[in-house]
Amino acid sequence: MRKSSTLDQIKHFSLENVFSSRIKKFQKLMRYKIREILLVSSIYDNYLFEEDGRLYELIREEYQNLNLSQAPEIIHVTTGMEALELLREKNEFDMIMITLHIEDMHPTVFARQVKEIDNSLPIMLLAYDNRERKELMLNYNTDVFSRIFIWGGDYHLLIGMVKCVEDRLNVETDTESIGVQVIILVEDNVRFYSSYLPIIYTEVFKQAQRLIREGVNTTHRYLRMRARPKILLCTNYEEAWECFEKYKEYVLGIIADNNFKKDGHRDPEAGLKLAAAVKAELKDIPILIQTSDQTIAEKAKEVDASFLLKNSPRLLHDLRKFMMDNFGFGDFILKSPDGKEVARASNLKDLAKELKNISDESLLYHAEGNHFSKWLKARTEFWLAHQLRPRKVSDFASTKELRKELISAINSYVSDRSRGVISDFDKDSFDIFNSFARIGGGSLGGKARGLGFIGSLIANYNINNLFEGVTISVPSAVVIGTEVFDSFISENNLEIFALNATDDLLITKRFIEAPYFPQSIIEKLTGFLDIVKVPLAVRSSSLLEDSQFQPFAGVYNTYMLPNSNEDKKVRLDELIKSIRCVFASTFHKKAKDYMKATSYRLEEEKMAVIVQRLVGNERSGKFYPNFSGVAKSYNFYPVPPQKSDDGIALVALGLGKTVVEGGNTVRFCPRFPKHLLQFFSTKETIKNAQQDFYALDLSGKPLHSGDDVSDSMVKKYDLGSAEKDGTLFQVGSTYSPENDAVYDGISREGMRVVTFAPILKHEVFPLAEILNLLLELGTWGMGSQVEIEFAVNLDVPKDNPKEFAMLQMRPLVISGEIEELAVDDYKEEELICHSDKVLGNGATENIYDIVFVDIKKYDRGKSKEAAREINKLNSKLVEQKNPYILIGVGRWGSLDPWLGIPVTWDQISGAAAIVESGFADFNVTPSQGSHFFQNITSFKIGYFTVNSFIKVGFIDWDWLLKQNPVEELKFTKHIHFDKPLSIKINGHKNKGVITKPGN
Amino acid sequence: MNDYFETLMANVKAQNPSEPEFHQAVEEVLGSLSIVLERHPEYRSMKILERMVEPERVITFRVPWMDDQGEIHINRGFRIEMNSAIGPYKGGLRFHPSVTLGILKFLAFEQVFKNALTTLPMGGGKGGSDFDPKGKSDNEIMRFSQSFMTELFRHIGPNTDVPAGDIGVGAREIGFLYGQYKRLKNESTGVLTGKGINWGGSLIRPEATGFGVVYFTQEMLKTRDTDFEGKTVAVSGFGNVAWGAVQKVNELGGTVVTLSGPDGFVYDPDGVKDEKVDYLLKLRASNKDAVEDYSKEFKVEFFPGKRPWGVKVDVALPCATQNEIYENDAKELVKNKCYCVCEGANMPTTIEGYKVFTEAGILYAPGKASNAGGVATSGLEMSQNSMRLPWPREEVDNRLHEIMIRIHNTCLTTAEKFGTPGNYVNGANIAGFLKVADAMLDQGLV
């Protein structure tokens, strides 16, 4: 039974969780956008608009400056008739702007007709001067217009108008959705607000833009701008109060005139009254009274409002100051309850720091007020604002608790935020534990993309802390984009040489000695090395690597650096040399050969480089993780109770080089971690267990001399040193020769072997569960079978979680594995053999030879002789380099001569596929487990199990026996064909066929 | 005589259909005994052979167990108690999907004579189940073993039937079986051999076979008035048997100059001594099935892909595997004046090789006799259990020595008695049989 409920829970949880997929929330903001404006004005008016240049371009430029997305299109017509026609035809407009002078009809008439077509379309009237406007308002009903503005010659007004409409349309949803804030602007003087509105909008945009800074890439910036505070323009007391009441929770502040209509008539103290009323409800809301009357200043202070003189030459400056001080745009000013400043914080990290030191009274003052929220929202950090919303100390056990929680909320948010996002590298905001940043432009390459994807999966689905005491993450890295590679190659004129050279050492040498390396990158790397002082892995991330169809695994080089030299210049030098070497490996023979087998051209290949923190700890001069491994979500050689899609994992002590090189590892299925095939007998245990491990020698010097292209710093060490380091006890077992037994753990006397028993059997670390989850998550996320690489560090400081690091995730695609071969479409006479119990996968063509045991002559008692004959034929065919199909009776490689033919692996090494047929009188189960079987899996040899006597599969013995053999021995025959036969195995269904030649 | 055998075989085949392994075993053993039967007509009239081919008791039983997923499995358990004329049944348990009545019967049959040859009071038996331990978790193995023993316990006992390990039954399984037996029977006795040292096992078990071979060889050399002092010895293999052999040869003054693996052999003219012997342990515990590292470590020559029999030595002890001395190898050895070959492995010499040795008239001992050290130590474990006194290494070693001397002498005298003096093969075959047959005669028609 599949237990995928954890994954379901995660998916379920994250979709429900309002704050986990934060960017999605931002995307939902500002649903209503003004995209198309219909401008109805006379040609002359238009001329006025475009005095400074083409209106549309101006507006678009301004949008870009303010980091706003998509400027609206403006369609201009000169007559009302034209406009109405357009509207009737296709009403795609979001807003209509109309001036007082249009050729054919009065604006109010036009407006009424528009309303008949579409009642919801906002119509803005643009007048040129006040007199005109007043006259209009006196004589006509201007209710039909949403707003009236006075054109002052500044195109910014149009932007203000657009934003004003958008804000009105979106305010309800956006406040509810994530708590976007609202500024209420109360002003009835049309001329004033026409010039003021754009100013205040620009200010808000600029401030917002400035604050959306840390750890965020360009896409996010655009999205976060949508969460800037909204401005609601009100022209009388009732309107203002209505807005206030409705959006009370979200009101950032009120900027109000003093003299406007209240209860239908003008009230010269309306502003003050409004201020008083608002303060009575929420005393913390900042209010700015703007008036031309200086005497109001005192009164404003009385109601605890700020004051601004409208005709002050420093209007903008004062407005800005007010916003900085009160809207959270500036530094967070930590105050004591009496209002005195005690500290300042300009970013989240600083705030967390200061919170540690301030007095309890100050803490409570800010916590109980709305201060944190506001400041955070200005930075569009809504989630954190929600965490730090006004709290009472009574909600907590003590002020100390409250302080602790506030600080930890900020800190974990800061570290959370940088996860899952590939931002541009910035020394100040890079988290050495797990950030992922880029240096240089261009693509990130396949591997880096995979890592970024994993990071985002982990962040978005909160996988990081799913297991208690363990943190799952991608180790921090910077990726050097492919443009750096491009410029390196072109500036050093290496392209022709590299494409044509065949000597790997020469290529590496030339790359190391090439004079040019982009200075800007060197600077960034210097900054990186300033903050990262731990061992590093420098890895390739090519454009074509890990693409959906080409695994490219192990084709390019990886280097590991101790990064420990006291001299920073040396460290920088080593790093850059390694990067050059990775560049060089793009053109090495291995890569060129590999490329030939694909449909890509080497010229297309570009190399990005990942510089990643190496996972592990320093132990007596060497650096290595407790263990590393690889896990695949699909296993072509499952042994019951495993099924193919339970996956398979390989783990080894130390660096993952052991696994990658095919050394001895522990092989287990994450769903059945206690079923270890390799360790069923002590002999097999010893044979299969890892006896040494790889670690980075911290004292070594990276050669890069061109003598060797491989990584010379990674060395082999024996288990004794692991035992001394204390890393063996979590993975080791002990073999006692006296007792001929293997005991879990290393507490008894004897030889040490690595079996991972403490982890897999005694659950010292939830490895199997973590792998199960990640493989499921990976296949779900990538939409295909996946392979992941990981490393684990168990030796962490006390109270810190153990570290499970994801190093790579790629789709599991090897040519042949992705296709499901059609093996059902053959007729029996076309086949030599077919079976439903086949292990392996893929198709092999071009086989011309068969070696088989003559079932008629075979005598179970003579199996040893038969084995000798097979050996002979095998040697012959191996020398001729002819792969063959081996068909026999009974179990191949059986230790028991009665059960089958006791060959050893080397005696049948030339076989491309092996067929095991049952005896007439004896049912033989397939020989799984043991080195023999492991070789089959490693060499991807197809293994057919047939017993035609009990109708399990089929072998055409008659046909085989009729063929004329090339060589005939006592029990065995070798037949050769001129036409090839083929082997086809469908690993998903465990079905396979071997076709007769010519089919 | 031929008729007699033919009838006998026909009956065996008829009584035990579909058990070709058993038929073959019977045929081989009895086929070598025509001369014995001629001299002992009482065996024929008392139908000793007919009795021998019929097991005293065959127990088959159901073994149900539950796997980790909660699925129930049913396997079949067997215990064949073949012959207890000279002592309680003794033989291993095999857990392997290939286990059938026929296979176990043939193994039990051979065990009778092998055990008899050790001169210890051990009868013959074999058992097991068609359970496949590969890929099972520790808990599943434990549950199966406990279920198995829950039936078997009522049929075995330290004075009745003493099973041991075999394929698929290692120290882990013996532990689980023993634990369950103790729980059910409420007694702590030597009912199984192969136990852990802590709880009743015997010392020097891993080296015992190797020691035994060397002791046997020493006796063989004595027949030519010489011993190991100053002799050069070729040893093949590098596992437990070879390790034991090397230690003992060194002790007795000889020099082992070769070791071999599937990858080839190393030639160390200075001899495998002192720290090199310890290195063997390391080599054994490494997962490489190769000796090449030895040559690198000690700067001696390594011959890839070759067997060590071309080296000039006095004594050859094949301790690696079956079929490692072919006709050519035998000829080489003879040419180089090797005059004693003693098998540590099971059937390392091919038939053609054997012919070469016999024609050259050199000393040759079959594994059946010379590698009985391992089985003998099982017996010694039983002895220690009965005494409730674990012996120190030296004591076990001494006892082993005595046993090997007895085996040697028995083989030699028997061979002489039956007209093929110096033919250890005949001696071994016949001696074991005689012991059992005579005991059966003495004990009446049971």
Q: How many CB pairs under 8 A join A and B?
A: 106
Both tokens of A448, joined, read 């880096």
Which residues of B belong to the active site? 126
pLDDT at A566: 82
| pLDDT tens string A424-435 | 777 776 777 667
Residues ≥6 apart with Cβ < 8 Å to A716:
A692, A693, A694
For the cut 70, the answer to whether the pLDDT of residue A703 exceeds it is no
pLDDT tier at A944 (50, 70, 90 boundaries)?
A: confident
Q: How many CB atoms lie within 10 A of CB A218?
A: 10
Give the span between the Cα atoms of A741 and A743, in whole angstroms. 6
For the cut 50, the answer to whether the pLDDT of residue A161 exceeds it is yes
Nearest to B285 among A674, A680, A686 (CB): A686
pLDDT at A897: 63
Interface probe for A, chosen from B287, B352, B391 (most Cβ of A below 10 Å), is: B287
Closest chain A residue to B100 measured between Cα atoms?
A922
More confident residue, A358 or A552: A358
Give the span between the Cα atoms of A861 and A898, in whole angstroms. 6
pLDDT tier at B71 (50, 70, 90 boundaries)?
A: very high
Residues ≥6 apart with Cβ < 8 Å to A855:
A889, A917, A957
For the cut 70, the answer to whether the pLDDT of residue B4 exceeds it is yes
Helix (H, G, I), strand (E, B) or coil at A12: helix
Could you tell me if A564 and A522 are in contact, meaning their C-beta atoms sit under 8 angstroms apart? no
Give the span between the Cα atoms of A447 and A737, in whole angstroms. 45
The residue-averaged pLDDT of A386-411 equals 77
Backbone conformation region of residue A784, classed left if phi is above 0, alpha if psi is from -120 to 50, else beta: beta
Interface probe for B, chosen from A635, A680, A931 (most Cβ of B below 10 Å), is: A680
SS3 sequence of chain B: CHHHHHHHHHHHHHHCCCCHHHHHHHHHHHHCCHHHHHHCHHHHHCCHHHHHCCCCEEEEEEEEEECCCCCEEEEEEEEEEEECCCCCEEEEEEECCCCCHHHHHHHHHHHHHHHHHCCCCCCEEEEEECCCCCCCCHHHHHHHHHHHHHHHCCCCECCCEEEECECCECHHHHHHHHHHHHHHHCCCCCCCCCCCHHHCCCCCHHHHHHHHHHHHHHHHHHCCCCCCCCCEEEEECCCHHHHHHHHHHHHCCCEEEEEEECCEEEECCCCCCCHHHHHHHHHHHCCCCCCHHHHHHHCCEEEECCCHHHCCCCEEEECCCCCCECHHHHHHHHHCCCCEEECCCCCCECHHHHHHHHHHCCEEECHHHHCCHHHHHHHHHHHHHHHCCCCCHHHHHHHHHHHHHHHHHHHHHHHHHCCCCCCHHHHHHHHHHHHHHHHHHHCCCC
CA distance B95 to chain A (A): 11
pLDDT at A188: 87
pLDDT at A32: 84
pLDDT at A810: 77
pLDDT at A623: 92
Largest CA-CA distance found in chain B, in angstroms, rounded = 66
For the cut 70, the answer to whether the pLDDT of residue A52 exceeds it is no
Nearest to A739 among B97, B201, B284 (CB): B201
Which residues in A lie closer than 8 A to residue B287 (C-beta atoms)? 664, 686-689, 691
The residue-averaged pLDDT of B321-349 equals 89
**B105 contact A CB<8A:** no
Cβ–Cβ gap A761/B138 under 8 Å? yes
Give the span between the Cα atoms of A861 and B9, in whole angstroms. 16
CA A632 to each of CA A445, A593, A778: distance values in angstroms, whole numbers, following the listed order: 22, 26, 10
Give the span between the Cα atoms of A598 and A201, in whole angstroms. 56
Among A589-598, A659-668, A816-825, A826-835, whose mean pLDDT is lowest?
A816-825
pLDDT tier at A930 (50, 70, 90 boundaries)?
A: very low
pLDDT tier at A849 (50, 70, 90 boundaries)?
A: very high
Among residues 923-952 of chain A, which lie with CB inside 8 Å of chain B? 924-925, 928-930
The residue-averaged pLDDT of A374-383 equals 75
| pLDDT tens string A776-787 | 888 888 777 788
| pLDDT tens string A232-270 | 999 889 999 999 999 988 888 899 988 888 888 888 888
Q: What is the pTM of this model?
A: 0.65
pLDDT at A635: 80
Measured between its terminal Cα atoms, the distance across chain A in Å is 41
**A871 contact B CB<8A:** no
Closest chain A residue to B23 measured between Cα atoms?
A861
Local structure of residue A586 (DSSP, 8 states): T
Q: What is the CA radius of gyration of chain A?
A: 37
| pLDDT tens string B265-323 | 999 998 888 888 888 877 776 656 678 888 888 888 998 888 899 999 999 999 988 78
Interface probe for B, chosen from A2, A687, A739 (most Cβ of B below 10 Å), is: A739
Closest chain A residue to B71 measured between Cα atoms?
A641
pLDDT at B160: 95
Which residues in B lie closer than 8 A to residue A894 (C-beta atoms)? 98
Cβ–Cβ gap B323/A689 under 8 Å? no
Could you tell me if B209 and B342 are in contact, meaning their C-beta atoms sit under 8 angstroms apart? no
Q: Write out the H or E segment, with its range, that includes residue A978.
A: strand A972-986
CA distance B290 to chain A (A): 11
pLDDT tier at A896 (50, 70, 90 boundaries)?
A: low
**A681 contact B CB<8A:** yes
| pLDDT tens string A963-976 | 888 999 888 999 99
Q: What is the CA radius of gyration of chain B?
A: 22
The residue-averaged pLDDT of A686-710 equals 72
pLDDT at A457: 80
Helix (H, G, I), strand (E, B) or coil at A555: coil
Cβ–Cβ gap A681/B281 under 8 Å? no
Among residues 737-796 of chain A, which lie with CB inside 8 Å of chain B? 737-742, 751, 753, 761
The residue-averaged pLDDT of A298-311 equals 84
**B346 contact A CB<8A:** no
Among A536-540, A661-665, B236-240, whose mean pLDDT is lowest?
A661-665
Which residues in A lie closer than 8 A to residue B103 (C-beta atoms)? 896, 898
**B413 contact A CB<8A:** no
Cβ–Cβ gap B137/A738 under 8 Å? no
Helices B101-117, B393-417: axis angle to 10 degrees equals 90
pLDDT tier at A229 (50, 70, 90 boundaries)?
A: confident
Residues ≥6 apart with Cβ < 8 Å to A302:
none
Could you tell me if A258 and A274 are in contact, meaning their C-beta atoms sit under 8 angstroms apart? no
Cβ–Cβ gap A896/B203 under 8 Å? no
**A959 contact B CB<8A:** no
pLDDT tier at A21 (50, 70, 90 boundaries)?
A: low
Cβ–Cβ gap B136/A680 under 8 Å? yes
pLDDT at B32: 75
Burial degree of B359 (CB within 10 A; 0-12, 13-18, 19+): exposed
Could you tell me if B340 and B319 are in contact, meaning their C-beta atoms sit under 8 angstroms apart? no
pLDDT tier at B382 (50, 70, 90 boundaries)?
A: very high
pLDDT at A2: 36
Name residue B175's beta-bridge partners.
none
Give the span between the Cα atoms of A885 and A382, in whole angstroms. 67
The phi, psi pair for B7, rounded to 5°, reads -60, -45
Buried b (16+ CB within 10 A) or exposed e, A21-39: ebeebbeebbeebbeebbb
Cβ–Cβ gap A929/B323 under 8 Å? no
Cβ–Cβ gap B98/A896 under 8 Å? yes
Cβ–Cβ gap A682/B171 under 8 Å? yes
Among A610-624, A788-802, A834-848, whose mean pLDDT is lowest?
A834-848
Unique residue bearing structure tokens 């008083």: A276
Question: Can you tell me the ipTM of this complex?
Answer: 0.74
The phi, psi pair for A716, rounded to 5°, reads -95, 140
